[in-house]
Structure 1
Amino acid sequence: MKKRIGRLAPAFTMLALAASLSGCAAAAIQGVTRASDNAKIMANEDAAAAGEVEAQMKMGDAHCCTIAGSAGVFNNQKATEWYCKAAQQNEPRAFYELGRIYSGDLVRGINGPAKVGAMLTEQRENKPLALMWFNLAARAGNDDAAEEAADLREDMTAPEILQANLREKNWTAQACEWNAVYPDNQL
């Protein structure tokens, strides 16, 4: 028995070391991502405010689905602010990103700690609004959006799908920014 434990000890030690280093790597990657996002914000803020769609998308990407500030919350307000501005200029990827956000998919990439946090908390979602955005993106040629829309429809009721279709007819008048969609959830 002691021999077996002795042979397993190095394996357990390596496993413990790997687990502890993976946490360090995640923190390092998250720090680099945050620094990159901050650089994107600084480089694109003026152009985005001037109405340049590409800069608005970069601003949305930098704010979206990352950890913002010391409170450690997703900065959905800022992300949707910029994606909505780009969507108003008919940017297909903005339609897709808004669909993704309002379907409850708030974490992208390899942000392990954020993914775990998202799995452990209830994510806000507005399925009719998400479907409206995915449909707009799909009509603009985004294949991923068409697939997301099909998947989302499977989880929706007939009245929710009807609501999405009705919203789509007058999409520019629909609530777009996070605080307008979720007035009770202003972070």
Structure 2
Amino acid sequence: MGNSIKSAQFLIDSRLADAARGSVDAAYELGMVYSSGASGVEMDLIEAHKWFNIAALGGSTEAPYMRAEVAEDMTAREIIEAQKQARAWLQMTSLRAA
């Protein structure tokens, strides 16, 4: 059990670092992991929507479809929260790059 938690955390940490550097693929992969609960990561639709939104804004052609699919299982409040978190992430990473 401990190894799967460590593996999941390593996956998230490495993808977060790549996403912070502007990797659209990393953002999309984070969306996939959070939407499915893959690799020992707990499923979190708000996080999934956030990452698919970031990937879509970065130019991913698949992310808008995945974002819409995830949104079907979310409340309006959850979607608003995901959008808020995506904006905050984008603002934070753009400030770092400046």
TM-score, scaled to structure 1: 0.43
SS in 1 for 2:62: helix
1:32-87 CA-partner distances (Å, limit 9, x unpaired): xxxxxxxxxxxxxxxxxxxxxxxxxxxxxxxxxxxxxx977372111111111101
Match of 2:28 in 1: 96
Match of 2:53 in 1: 135
Aligned residues: 90
Match of 1:84 in 2: 16
Structure of higher CA gyration radius: 1
Counterparts of 1:94 and 1:128, CA distance in 2: 17
Q: Of the candidates 106, 115, 120, which is equivalent to residue 38 of structure 2? A: 106
Match of 1:170 in 2: 88
Bigger relative contact order, structure 1 or 2 (CA pairs below 8 A, ≥6 apart): 2
Code of the aligned partner of 2:71: R
Q: Any conservation in 1 of the 2:27–2:52 contact (CA below 8 Å)?
A: yes
Q: Any conservation in 1 of the 2:31–2:50 contact (CA below 8 Å)?
A: yes
Identical-pair percentage: 30
Q: Which runs of 4+ in 1 moved over 2 A?
A: 70-74
Match of 2:4 in 1: 73
Pair 141,150 (structure 1): closer, same or farther in 2 beyond 3 Å: same
Query: What is the correspondence of 1:35-74 to structure 2 with a 5 Å cutoff?
Result: 73=4
Between structures 1 and 2, the one with greater helix share = 2
Code of the aligned partner of 1:149: R
Match of 2:69 in 1: 151
Match of 2:96 in 1: none
Measured after TM superposition, the shift of residue 171 of structure 1 is 1.1
Measured after TM superposition, the shift of residue 104 of structure 1 is 2.4
1:94-131 CA-partner distances (Å, limit 9, x unpaired): 10011111112416xxxxxxxxxx8xxxx721111110
- Which runs of no fewer than 5 residues in structure 1 stay unpaired? 1-69, 108-117, 174-187
Code of the aligned partner of 1:96: Y
